[in-house]
Amino acid sequence: MKKSSIVLGSLLLLGGMASAADIYLSDAAKVPDLVMKDTGLGFKDIEGYQNYRIVATHFRKDKHEIRYILANPVAYNALRTHASVMPDGSKVVKIGWSVKEMSPFPAALEADKIQRVEYMIKDKTKHAESDGWGYARFVKKEGTYQAWKGDPKSCVACHASVKSQDALFTKFQTMF
Ligand code: HEC
């Protein structure tokens, strides 16, 4: 092989690697600059959440929505070891998709459109009044995210029903 073609080949290889890395980064960087009006919590507080690990899947029968629950490394380790109280720095994210029948096998449902991304962030000092958790929800309508305009106190109230589980409904879902 000629030296020039080796150089060219290496450049192409490097180029390919760089663009794969770019895709990974730009996905994370796409998080819009939106902030919840009451709490000041932003979408950017979970930037890179696409790379968090899945800890559970849920299906809401009433909303007909499939949900993935993802955890950042702090929350992942705590959930995996069944910690009774999640440490500060824990971030738990829920992504909700509408579902549609899978073509050509309609008995199977598959995720369709993202409807929401919402999260809980643990900071016992900052969110002392809501069991240490900060709540935020971003809804996606016609392809665009917006900060949910409701009152985050409603999040706190409903999650208080599982106070004994540190306000988390999610349980670490076994995979083996
Ligand atoms: C009426 C009850 C109710 C309200 C209100 C509510 N949630 Fe939840 N939430 C649930 C239930 C039930 C689950 C578990 C099932 C699921 O994933 O939807 C859950 C799960 C979650 C999870 C995954 C962690 C966990 O606790 O399992 C997050 C994050 C979350 N909710 C955020 C929010 C935010 C943010 C709000 C307010 C904007 C909110 N929730 C309002 C009932 C509620």
Residues 126-170 have pLDDT tens digits of 999 999 999 999 999 999 999 999 999 999 999 999 999 999 999
| Calpha distance 75→39 (Å, rounded) | 21
Q: Is the dihedral of CA 96, 110, 69, 21 positive or negative?
A: negative
CA of residue 159 to ligand 1 center, whole Å: 7
For the 33-165 domain, the top CATH level (class) is: alpha beta
Residue from 39, 94, 138, 139 whose mutation best tests the ligand 1 pocket (most atoms within 8 A of CB): 94
CA of residue 77 to ligand 1 center, whole Å: 20
| Structure tokens, 54 | 């899945």
Model confidence, pTM:
0.88
What does the pLDDT read at residue 88? 98
Tell me the C-alpha to C-alpha distance, in Å, between residue 131 and each of 108, 117, 165: 39, 21, 11
> By C-alpha distance, which of 18, 28, 32, 115 is closest to 72?
28
Contact 136, 42 (CB under 8 A): yes
Other beta carbons within 10 angstroms of residue 53's beta carbon come to 13
Q: What is the pLDDT of residues 77-112, one digit of tens each?
A: 999 999 999 999 999 999 999 999 999 999 999 999
Give the residue with greater pLDDT, 27 vs 30: 30
CA of residue 155 to ligand 1 center, whole Å: 7
Q: What percent of the chain lies above the pLDDT cut of 90?
A: 81
What does the pLDDT read at residue 13? 46
What does the pLDDT read at residue 38? 85
Contact 86, 55 (CB under 8 A): no
